Amino acid sequence: MLFNSFKSTNTLEREVRDWKYDDDCIHLGERKAYNLREITYNSPMIDISQTVMETAFGGYERNKAVRTISGTWDTKENLRFIKGISLVQKLAKKRKWRIMQEGSAMLGYKIEIIEMP
C-alpha cells in the first residue's frame, strides 16, 4: 500500500479512466460500454474524475445507508467504490485540485472538482 502513494500522475489518470470504464461495463454491459470507451479515454480528466467521484462516493454512502436499515454489506462493491474515491483523491492532490461535495445518500451527491491556481 505504501507504494501506491508514489504513482505518477499519468498512471493515476489511466487508473481513474479504467475505473470509469469498468464501472460502465458493470452497469451497461461490455458491449454498450465498449461504445463509450473512446469517450471515456478522450474526455477531459477533470470531468472523468468528477464522474468517478460522484459514482463511487454516492454508491459507498448509499450502501452505508442500506446497511443501517437491512444489516447487509456488499464488501466487494464497497472496496471498488473505495478504490475509485482513493484514486481521485490522489490524483486531485497531485494536480492541486479541490474536491467539493454536497448532497445526501438518499438524494445523491453532487461533486465539483476545481483546479486551484
pLDDT one digit per residue (tens) for the chain, 117 residues:
444 557 899 999 999 999 999 999 998 998 888 888 999 999 999 999 999 999 999 889 888 888 888 887 788 999 999 999 999 999 999 999 999 988 876 677 889 999 988
20 neighbors 80 (Cβ within 8 angstroms) = no
